[in-house]
Amino acid sequence: MADSMHHRLTAGSPYPLGATSDGLGINFAVFSANATRLELCLFDERGRRELCRLALPECTDEIWHGYLPDAQPGLVYGYRAHGPYDPRNGHRFNPHKLLLDPYARRLTGAPRWSDALFGYRMQHTKADLSMDRRDSAIAMPKAVVVDDYFDWGRSAPPGTAWNDTVLYEVHLRGATMQREDLRTPLRGTAGALADPRFLDHLHRLGVTAVELMPVHAFLQDRFLIERGLRNYWGYSTLSFFAPEPSYVPQGGPNELKQAIRRLHAADIEVILDVVYNHTCEGSELGPTLSWRGLDNASYYRLVPGDERYYVNDTGCGNTLNISHPRVLQMVMDSLRYWACTYRVDGFRFDLGVTLGREGTGFDPGSGFFDAILQDPQLTRLKLISEPWDVGPDGYQLGQHPPGFAEWNDRFRDGTRRYWRGDDGMTGELAARLTGSRDLFDRRHRRPWASINYVASHDGFTLRDVTSYACSHNEANGEEGADGHGENFSANWGHEGPTDDDRILDLRSRVQHAMLATVLLADGTPMLLAGDEFGNSMGGNNNAYCQDTPVSWLDWQDLATDPGASLARYTARLIALRRAHASLRAARYGDAGYEIAPGIAALSWFTEHGQPMDPPAWEDAERRTLAMRRAAANDDHEANVTLLLLNAGDEPVNFQLPLPTLAWTIELDSAQPSRPTQPADDQAQEVAAHSVLVLSAQTPRGTP
């Protein structure tokens, strides 16, 4: 090891946390309340050889800090933390383990799995109570000091209103791995995501925002590597500030910024799926990579009275201690960093209930929510929560504070069950179509708070919902124990792919009807990437470990007649939603308020054109429903739409409700290419498993 006399640390500053260059040197600051000593370790530019170790000379308010004169961006470094190794009391300091800076903004190298990455002797009879003294540096990724400057030019965020938003959930790597029109090195990278042809596809669809699955640097878990699999989804965070290195192989962080700038120039917002509920270090038997070695007792929630073990409300082995002010600060600093330095437009919080937990359980007034909602920068962004975790009372759909939207799995399940033909689903579907006002119409929240979807990364694709009665996850090697047990899916007569035209037609109709339900309901619609052209994962409903064609979008489907037709139909639905204010209510309001004489803001009818009464709502075998909505176009005219839904096996003749209007048939999900045309009859036939959409304009005075 080189003589540390070649480098001298001065006191520096406790703020900001992380490694910060001022042009004349670099300031290092890292939090640890329980360490007795912290060492800065400097490496060669490839991160392979440790050059020296320098003790951080100052500790201010539990922030250890030092300043290295003449150092410049590009410096490679890590930390070693000294303190008690006392797992029973929550302390796991081990200076033999190189630790990643929690504020690292760029990484070099990837973890090379070996037992040396663990703070304890893995084969020891005392398990994690033992201590491993092997140096882990050679197996560890290192942090790289960065210069965050990037020229954004005149680009600006699109600023799309919530009420006009259509989300497109997509995996950055999987979106382009099978794009044969791209050079192989570019596939699966941030640069490929902003390829003009992909942007053109998004424009043709009419989506306004991409919701990217995790792009924070994440760990390839050892148990997956040993099974020949990989962590594909990325919900195993290794750094909250650095982009996943494999996504930015050419230009580092700037490569992702360039992609975001191009997406913004195309009026596409960028929302990041972020994981602040747990880290990749897992349970007490996991590796020591960063937070565990720096201050385990502060960074994690430990079992009171038995601090050897972790509270596991996430199901991933550990839970970040967001109640600790420094841990909350880390999360807030990370959010602001991505909002300012990368200019993202919002965040989707994985297991958002965990983030809102205080000592008494989930609290919509928790420190986490309060910190975000008072922040003048973050509160203006689109904020989306996954409203559940696996802890006590972990299902909190509709209970988040104003300012947050929530993934609505009841919309997903209700839509699937209604179109599958389950009994007693009419009332449930009606509630979901109206922006789930039974769940969200409180505290002045708006319909956009309900994120409506029928498929997401977590579960079947839309095509698979109509092709498989059960999951087929054999490739995961987990003997069928993984994934949802109840998918509310149906194969409509044959499990998996088939050449039977009758089954294929039926599946197509159900897919069309489900897409219409998502895109024409009040709330914020979300599409799973690939659903618009019939992408399949072969019945795998938990492809978290499938970094293979199983998960990657197969763009060849879009080149087929069925795929191209489905994409055109999806685009038509989105355009229809955009064209009619009554298909995207801005507020809940009074459903009975008359927008025009005899036409309430919201009305329900039977197929006979009569208002739905209690016996009709309670009819478990009912498969039909008519939904009429009205909204003011201006002071003189009202926009009225009528959805006629038939989930039965036979066509149904619907009598259009009074008053009589000059209706136009906008869309027939059973005949996607049917042109817009006047409805020349007050009775309309609706095919089995389909939706008919009509619209009318009427004066707000006498009709």
Report DSSP letters for 42-93, one per residue: EE-TTS-SEEEEEE--EEETTEEEEEEET--TT-EEEEEEES-EEGGGTEE-
Instruction: Compute the 3-state secondary structure of the chain and give helix, strand, coil in percent, each to the nearest 5.
Output: 25, 20, 50
Task: Report residue 637: phi and psi, to 5°.
Answer: -135, 145
Asked if 529 and 570 count as a contact pair (C-beta separation under 8 A), the reply is no
Helix, coil or strand: residue 294? helix
Q: Are strands 677-678 and 664-668 parallel, antiparallel or unpaired?
A: antiparallel
Sequence-distant (6+) residues with CB within 8 A of 296 are 90, 91, 92, 93, 302
CA 138 to chain centre: 34
Is 251 buried (19+), middle (13-18) or exposed (0-12) by CB count in 10 A?
middle
Per-position DSSP letters for 152-207, written without gaps between them: -TT-------GGG--EEEE-TTTTTTT-TTS-GGGTTSHHHHT-HHHHHHHHHHT-
- Which residue among 50, 195, 386, 413 is the active-site one? 386
Q: Rounded distance, CA 206 to CA 168, Å? A: 10
Q: Which of 530, 501, 504, 502 is nearest to 515 (CA)?
A: 530
Residue 211 annotated as catalytic = no
Looking at 350, 413, 428, 522, which residue is catalytic?
Answer: 350
Tokens describing residue 570: 């999806």
CA separation, residue 101 to residues 113, 143, 457 (Å): 19, 7, 30
Which residue in this structure is represented by tokens 């006979």?
A: 608
Which residue is associated with the tokens 């040993």? 226
Q: Tell me if 289 sits within 8 A of 300, measured CB to CB.
A: no
Active-site residue 386, yes or no?
yes
Catalytic residue positions, numbered: 350, 386
